[in-house]
A = this chain, B = another copy of it.
Amino acid sequence: MNVLVGRKPREFDPPHSPRSVGWTRPLRVRLADESNPLPLDCGRFFAPVDVEYEVYGTLNEERDNAILILHALSGDAHVAGWDAAADEYGRPWRKTQPGWWDSMVGPGKAFDTRKYCVICSNVLGSCYGTTGPSSTDPATGRPYGLRFPVVTVHDWVRLQERLITHLGIERLLGVAGGSLGGQQALEWTLAHPGRVRCAIILASAARLSDQGLAFNAVARHAITTDPNFRGGDYYGGPTPDRGLAVARMLGHITYLSEESMRQKFGRRFRNGSGPGFQFGPEFEVEGYLEHQGNAFVQRFDANSYLYISRAMDYYDVSVWGDGDLDRACARAESRFLLISFSSDWLYPPRQMRELAMALCRNRKPVTYIELPSTYGHDAFLLEVDKLQELIPAFLEGSLGA
């Protein structure tokens, strides 16, 4: 079935390209039920939990070529290729763009699906197939809303570990992700040190800065003060799109760098001339942000934004060392590839260096590279050529480790 008939893919390899993974379909599995609920950091034992995930490439007989990719705030399990189930799942935007890391996952790409079995699952609390605040609470028959438990990165990894076990994988070749995905990869190496051979952590850090906390706080404030939010019980009625759009616009400012914005927009007026003396979007950068905000509310749930950004806030890997990062890193048994980007100010190089040094002081094998880039935080999605130079070699070097 070709759901894309009559539509033109906009970017990346088209579905028929030999370097695309082609058509993919999401998979679902129940990983926690009443008899085996998922213990959460908040103290609750939670069930049921269904997980949506995708698999690219083939698990070998030794079951030692699996790489778990972790997605960031607004991501999903659909990493690469074209979604054959976009209509079925009610996700029309997936018909016009491939998976979020399509440039990195596929035959001959950085995560080469001819060699490796790539897995990605949607996180708990999201709105893309894994149980989240928009799921139906079996106790009430209504969506959870804010009655959904507040989840953490550690909870996500605990659930991912159940998935890996379910798939019959004892030890992952690697875990990899950027931003909040990188924090999940890092958490894997400390929570399950014996189950992961290497970790590829991009544009991330041991914890979010206060400035990062501040951006998340304003984003959530915009959502929760939207009159349509109604304490999170907005399902079936008007949704808090105004607040969610503000949150997303704000997010996009932190994903770009000052320089990439200058290169991209250069204070240009949309009408090409000059001031229109009004408050609608006049500068190109204003139009860009409004577009991003409006597109996002079509595809994301405001409650999920609250839950996932809160997990991002709480994450601090040093809890494994009772607040001491060096002590925490002593637990690791993986090889590490840490990559930061010079113009990333959401997870600045300084923070990645801190992590690299803590691992180094613990005699852990760590490669830390600060890549020059003007793309800001988004560089982990865009600096494909540079990542292609580093990641395949690192993965091969980890095969025998």
Interface residues of A (CB under 8 A from B): 41-42, 146, 149-150, 152, 207-211, 213-215, 217-218, 220-222, 224-227, 242, 245-246, 249-250, 252-253, 256, 258, 261-262, 264-267, 275, 277-279, 281-283, 285-286, 289-290, 293, 306, 310, 313-314, 316, 345, 348
Residues of chain B lying within 8 A (CB to CB) of residue A218: 246, 249-250, 253, 289
Extra inter-chain contacts (11) besides given A42-B277, A214-B261, A217-B285, CB under 8 Å: A150-B278, A150-B279, A207-B267, A209-B258, A211-B262, A213-B283, A213-B285, A221-B290, A225-B242, A267-B316, A279-B310
Complex CA gap A33/B256 in Å reads 47
- How far is A278 from B43 in the complex, measured between Cα atoms in Å? 13
Q: Once the chains bind, are A222 and B210 in contact (CB under 8 Å)?
A: no
Smallest CB gap from A275: residue in B: B314
Partner of A225, one of B245, B264, B266, B310: B245
In Å, the complex CA distance between A249 and B220 comes to 12
What chain B residues lie within 8 Å of A281 (beta carbons)?
Answer: 217
Query: For the complex formed by this chain, how many copies does it contain in all?
Result: 2
With most chain B CB atoms within 10 A of its CB, the pick from A217, A226, A289 is A217
Chain B residues with Cβ under 8 A from A209's Cβ? 258, 261-262
Interchain nearest-CB distance for A43 vs B (Å): 8
* B258 and A246 form a contact (CB under 8 A): no
Cross-chain contact A279 with B146 (CB below 8 angstroms): yes
CA distance A222 to B253 in the complex (A): 15
- Pairs across A and B, CB under 8 Å, 29 listed: A150-B275, A150-B277, A207-B267, A209-B262, A210-B258, A210-B261, A210-B262, A210-B266, A211-B256, A211-B258, A211-B262, A213-B265, A213-B267, A213-B285, A214-B285, A214-B286, A214-B289, A217-B289, A218-B249, A218-B289, A221-B245, A221-B246, A221-B249, A222-B222, A225-B245, A225-B246, A226-B242, A246-B246, A283-B313
Closest CB-CB distance, A311 to chain B, in whole Å?
10
Instruction: Tell whether, in the assembled complex, residue A258 and residue B222 are in contact, meaning their CB atoms are under 8 Å apart.
Output: no
Contacts of A345 in B (CB 8 A): 258
| Residues on the B chain within 8 Å of A265, using CB | 210, 213
A294: min CB distance to chain B, Å: 11
Chain B min CB distance to A155 (Å) = 11
| Interface class of chain A by DSSP | helix
**How far, in whole Å, are A159 and B319 apart by their CA atoms in the complex?**
58
Cα–Cα distance between A281 and B225 once the two chains are bound (Å) = 13
Contacts of A242 in B (CB 8 A): 225-226
Across the A-B interface, give the 10 residue pairs with the lowest CB-CB distance, nearest first. Answer: A150-B277, A210-B261, A42-B277, A225-B242, A217-B286, A211-B258, A210-B265, A218-B249, A210-B285, A214-B253
Closest to A43 in B: B277
Q: Which residue of B lies closest to A307 (CB)?
A: B279
**B261 and A279 form a contact (CB under 8 A):** no
Contacts of A42 in B (CB 8 A): 275, 277
Whether A222 lies near B207 (C-beta < 8 A) is no
Chain B residues contacting A289 (CB-CB under 8 Å) are 214, 217-218, 221
Specify which chain B residues have a CB less than 8 angstroms from the CB of A279 in the assembled complex: 146, 150, 220, 224, 306, 310
